[in-house]
Amino acid sequence: MRLSSLLVALALSIGVAEPAWAAPPATQAKSKGKPKKPKPGKKKPAQGQSAKKPTAVEDAPVIRPLVAASEPASVRAIADSGLTLVASQRDDFASAGLVLRFSFGSADDPASQAGAGAVLLRALEHALGPEIRALRELGGDATFDLGPDAASVRIRVPSGAIDAALGLVSATFTRALSQADVDAAKATFPAPSVREGAEAQLVGLVYQGFFPYEHAVDGTAASRAPIDVAALEALRKDRVVPGQATLALVSPGDANAALDGLKARFTGPKVDGARPARAGTLQEQTNQRAADVETTGAPTTLLYAWAIRDASEAELNALSLAARLLTTRGAIDESVAKLSLPAQVHARLGRRAGASVFFVEVGLPDATPLKKARHAVEDVFVALSTKAAVALDLAHAREAEWVDALAGLDDPLASADRLAAGARPLGDAREALEAVTPENVRAAAAKYLGPLTRAVVQVSDPAKAPASKTPKKQEKH
Amino acid sequence: MSSRRARAAALVLSAFFGAACGPAHGPGTRTPAPSASASTSASTATSEPPNPAKAVDPATVPAVTGVDTSTGVRLESVTRASARVAEIRVVVRAGSADDGEHPGTARTVARSLLTAYKALATDGRAATEVTAAVSPSATTFSFHAASDGVGPTLKALAAAFSKTSLDAAETRAAAQRVTEDVKAELRDLPSLGPRLVQRDLFVAPIGRHPYSLTLLTADEIAGVDAKAASAFLSSFYVASNVTVVAVSAAAPTDLRPIVEDALASVRKGDARSADVDKPEGRPRPMKVMLVDVPAQDPVLVTLGRFGPTAAQGTDTKTRIFGAALRDRLTRQGVEKARLEVTPLRQAPVLALLHIDLPPASAADGFKKLHAVLDGWSAPSADELVIAKNHVIGELLRTIDPPGALADELARGAAVDAPENALEARGLEITMAEAADVGVTGSAILGHDGVLVVVGDAKTLAPALTVFGEVDVLDPNAGLARVRSVTP
C-alpha cells in the first residue's frame, strides 16, 4: 500500500464541520490547555528572512476553538442480503459518489499467500471489465483499492447514471472468476520502485514477526505466484459477500427514497461470510531496527517508523497532531538547515485496526553526510518527547487537521468513503482534537516515539556518496 | 428545492425505482457467470445501449462572479452555500515564461515567499499548508481554510508579496530547495514525458523558447541571484497582476472586504509579461524519444501536439476529440489512455495524450496507436455520444469538489480566460457536432508533434520506429541522447 493512502485513512477517521461566515469575528479565545500569546516582534526570523519585516500581520495572534460543523444527514439500513447500506442526500453535488467497502484487507491474507487479497481485487476488476467500460461510457469511473484493513470499490458517476454504477456493484458479488482473470491480474503488478521497495522494507522491520502488517499489501511476485483461481474463490466466499460489506451512496435526491431503492435492489438470500482471525499479535519491541538501501539513481532519503501498540484514541489524536507538527512547523527542516542542507519532511500517522504506525520521511540532497543528518533529525524526535509544543504551533496543526477533514465532506466520493468507513461523528472528532494539549503531544511522543522502538531505512545512491574524510585523518597520523 | 435540483432528484429516483421495479438482482443471488458475459444483474446494466449524451445544463455550471477590488486585485468567486471550507487560489501572472535571462527565477521567488509566509502567519486561524505551483503562465498559491482563516492567510501572503527585496541568504536557500525539486522531477518518470514534449514542441527562431524551459539544470538555478529575484518580485508581484479565486460559502459581497483588507499591502503598479514569440508551428517529422529505463513497468507514453487555433476549434472540441480518440484506443485493447488539455497564456493549447502500456504488449500498443492516429476520421453518432459523456463526466469531476473547481478557475485566471469559460464549456459540449470534432482532430493531427516513451530501449526501440527515427535518452546522464534507431 502506498503511504499516501494512509493519509486518506487518517482523514476519514476524523469528522467534519459547518461554515461560519456569519459568525462573529474570532476572539482571542483561550483554547483548552494553556495557550500562550506570542509577543509580536520576538519571533525569531526564519533562515534567510529579510530583517525588515512587513508589519501587516504583526497583530496579536489568534487562537480560537475549531469552527463547529454539522454532520450531513444520512440514513442507514441493512438489506436482506446482509449488505449494510448508507445514503446521504447532497443536492449541492451534480455527480454521485458510491463506495463499496469490504471488511477484509491485506492483513487478512493467509500466512502462506501474502498478496492474495490484492490479486483477488485485481482479478475482480478484470472480470468486471464490461461493467467498468459501460460506466466509463456514461462519464463515470471506478477504482479498486486494497489497504491493510479494508478493500474498496470507489465509483464516481454523473447522477443520472447511478444505475450503471449499481450494476457494477451487483456484479462484484456475483461474477465468477476465471484463471484468465487471475493471470491477467498478476500481470498488472509492476516491479516496485526503489522508493516503494524501501517503504516495504521499513514496514517489514517495524512490524517484524507480525504477519498481518509485516508483509507488503501486494505481497511479492514470489508469494503471488502460486495463487490460483481456486484459492481466490475459497477466499472470496467469505469476504466478497454482502454480510462483509457496506455500500455508501452520496448523491442528489431524497436519501430515504434512495435507501429504499438500494434495499430493493440488494435483496436476496442472506450471505454473511466470515472474517478469519488474524494470526499472532505484535510483540513489544526493544531494539531499533535499521537497514540501508543503496541503489544507483536513488534519492537520498531517511525513512522512520514506529509501531504504536495499544494506544488510546486520545493518544492517537495526539500523535496525529505530532505528525502535523513535524511536517508543517519546520522543526526538522530547521535542524537539518544547520548543516546547510534543505530537507523535505513528511510525517503521518497510519491508523490501523491492529497496531497503528507513525511514519516520518526526510528527503535530503545527494551526497548528504547521512550520519550527521540522522543526528539532526533524531534530535527533533527527542525534543518532541521532552518539550511541550508551542500553543500556537499546536493550534496551527489542529486547524490544519480539522480543515482537511472538513474539505473531504465537500467531495461526493470522499463523503461516501467516510460513510462507508463508519467514521466517528463530526462533533466527537472535533472535541477530540480540541482536547489535545501540548503536554498530551509530548507524553504520547515520549511513550511511543522512542529511539529503541523505531525502524530506520536509509536510502542513498552509492555513486553520490559524500567524499570520505578518512584520508585526511590518516595524513594527520 | 429549486426546480433544477428537483429535476436532478427525479433523475436519481427514476434510476432507483427502475431498478427496484425490475427483477431482484441482489448480491445474495450469487449467480455465477462466465467472465466473458455479464451476470444477471450486470447484464441489466450493460446490455442497454449507452444513454444518450446528457448535455450539461448550463445552469448547473456554477456562476463565477468577478469584481475588481479597490486594491487593484481581481476577485473571482463562486458561492457554494454548503461548502464547509473556503478553497482559495492566489494567481500571480508571473510564470516561468517570465524568467527572462535567469531560468528558475519564478520558482525561486515562489519558494522564498513560501518560507516568508511561514514566518509571517502568526495567526492560529491562518492556513498551515500553502503550496505554490509555477506554470509557464503564472504562479499559483493554494490553500484551504475555515471561513475566518481566509483573511489572516491572505494577509500573511500579502505581507510576503510586499517585501521590498529578497536578500542573498534567502535567495540562496530558496534556490537550493528548487535545485532539489528539479532533481526530484528528473527522477519522477511519469512527469518526464510532458516535460520533454513541452521542451521540444516549443521552438524559438533563435535560442530557447520561454515555454520550453521545463527541465532546468542546477547551474541555471544557481544563476538566480538576489538581484534577479528581487527584480522579479517587484515587477510581477503587484496588485494588478494578481487574481484571487475563491470557492466558498461566502457571497462576493462578504468576500470583497476581506480581500481588500487583507491585500491592501500588495504593491500597486502595472506588470506586463514580455511578448513571447509564437512557437514555430510548421509541420516537421515527428520527434520520437525513448528514455531508457530497463525495468519500467508500465511503459509510459506521452504524445504532445498543439491544440487547434481559435478558427479551428475550441478547448472543448479538443477534449471531445481526445475522448473519442481514447475510446477508439480502448476498443483496440489499449486501455489507460487519457487526454490532458493545457491552455497557455501566449501560446496555443497544449494537448497531451498519456497512455500506460504493459511492457509485454507495448510493441503492439505502438502499432495500434499509430493506426488510430493515422486513420483519424470524424466520430460516428455513437462515438460522439460516448465522447461527450466522457467530457461531461470530466466536467462534473471538475465542478463538484470545491478544490477542483478552484484549480480550474485558477488555470483560467492564469491565461486570462473569460469568467464564463466553464459555462461556455457546458454549452459547447451540447452544441458540438461530429463534423466539428472531426475537423478539430484533423487540425491537431495535421502537424507532427513530439512522442516520448519511458521504458526499456532494448526491447521497445525497434517497435517504436513505426513513428520514425527514435532518439534513445539516458536518464542517468542528464537525458543525453546516446543513440538513434532508424526504421
Cell of B382: 455513437
Q: Is the pLDDT of residue B315 over 50?
A: yes
User: Do residues B13 and A252 make contact, with C-beta atoms less than 8 angstroms apart?
Assistant: no
Average pLDDT for A195-218:
93
Q: Is A230 on the interface with B (CB under 8 A)?
A: no
Q: Is B125 on the interface with A (CB under 8 A)?
A: yes
pLDDT in tens, B260-292: 999 999 999 887 777 766 665 554 678 999 999
pLDDT in tens, B209-260: 788 888 888 888 888 999 999 999 999 999 999 999 999 999 999 999 999 9
- On the 0-12 / 13-18 / 19+ scale of CB atoms within 10 A, B433 is middle
pLDDT of residue B265: 92
pLDDT in tens, B381-394: 999 999 999 999 99
d(CA B214, CA A446): 45
- On the 0-12 / 13-18 / 19+ scale of CB atoms within 10 A, B2 is exposed
Instruction: Answer whether the bond into residue A425 is a cis peptide, omega within 30°.
Output: no
Question: Taking CB atoms and an 8 Å limit, are A19 and B127 in contact across chains?
Answer: no
pLDDT of residue A20: 29
Average pLDDT for B19-30:
29
Q: Where are the beta strands (DSSP E) in B3-79?
A: 65-68, 74-79
Residues 6+ apart with CB under 8 A from A193: none
CA dihedral defined by B457, B462, B465, B466, rounded to 10 degrees?
Answer: -130
Q: Does A141 or B100 have the greater pLDDT score?
A: A141
Average pLDDT for B184-198:
89
Mutation test of the interface with chain A: which of B128, B291, B361, choosing the one with the most A Cβ atoms within 10 A? B128
| C-alpha Rg value of chain A to the nearest Å | 25
pLDDT of residue A54: 40
pLDDT in tens, B350-373: 889 999 999 989 999 999 999 999
pLDDT of residue A339: 85
**Chain A residues within an 8 Å CB radius of B123:** 57, 59, 61-62
Average pLDDT, chain B: 83
pLDDT of residue A173: 95
- State the DSSP H helix or E strand holding residue B357, giving kind and residue range, or none if neither: strand B347-357
Please name the residue of chain B whose CA is at the shortest distance from the CA of residue A171. Answer: B42
pLDDT of residue B437: 94
Average pLDDT for A406-418:
93
Give the distance from residue A272's alpha carbon to the nearest chain B alpha carbon, in angstroms: 10
| Beta-sheet pairing, B242-248 with A356-363 | unpaired
Provide ipTM, 2 decimals.
0.83
Interface of B with A in 198-237 (CB under 8 A): none
Q: Is B336 on the interface with A (CB under 8 A)?
A: no
Q: Is the pLDDT of residue A53 over 70?
A: no
**Chain B residues within an 8 Å CB radius of A161:** 15, 51
pLDDT of residue B310: 64
Cell of B203: 521552438
Q: Does B56 or A52 have the greater pLDDT score?
A: B56
Of all residues in chain B, the percent with pLDDT exceeding 70 is 84
Phi, psi of B365 (to 5 degrees): -60, -40
Q: Does A466 or A214 have the greater pLDDT score?
A: A214
User: Do residues B154 and B259 make contact, with C-beta atoms less than 8 angstroms apart?
Assistant: yes
Give the distance from residue A60's alpha carbon to the nearest chain B alpha carbon, in angstroms: 8
Give the distance from residue B206's alpha carbon to the nearest chain A alpha carbon, in angstroms: 34
**Chain A residues within an 8 Å CB radius of B16:** 162, 257-258, 260-262, 264-265
pLDDT of residue B281: 55
Please name the residue of chain A whose CA is at the shortest distance from the CA of residue B23. Answer: A265
Residue A48 has its nearest CB partner, among B123, B165, B170, at B170
Average pLDDT for A13-22:
28
User: Do residues A449 and A307 make contact, with C-beta atoms less than 8 angstroms apart?
Assistant: no
Residue A137 has its nearest CB partner, among B37, B124, B386, at B386
**Chain B residues within an 8 Å CB radius of A141:** 393
Average pLDDT, chain A: 84
Q: At A190, is the pLDDT very low, low, confident or very high (cuts 50, 70, 90)? A: confident
Question: Taking CB atoms and an 8 Å limit, are B39 and A175 in contact across chains?
Answer: yes
d(CA B404, CA A414): 13
Q: Is the pLDDT of residue B8 over 70?
A: no
pLDDT of residue B327: 92
pLDDT of residue B277: 66
- On the 0-12 / 13-18 / 19+ scale of CB atoms within 10 A, A22 is exposed
- State the DSSP H helix or E strand holding residue A350, giving kind and residue range, or none if neither: strand A344-350
Q: At A28, is the pLDDT very low, low, confident or very high (cuts 50, 70, 90)? A: very low
Average pLDDT for B114-119:
92
Q: Does B48 or A431 have the greater pLDDT score?
A: A431
Give the distance from residue B288's alpha carbon to the nearest chain A alpha carbon, in angstroms: 24
Q: Is A123 on the interface with B (CB under 8 A)?
A: no
Report field, pTM of the whole predicted structure over 0.90: no
pLDDT in tens, B407-427: 999 999 998 888 888 888 888
Q: Is the pLDDT of residue B24 over 70?
A: no
- On the 0-12 / 13-18 / 19+ scale of CB atoms within 10 A, B52 is exposed
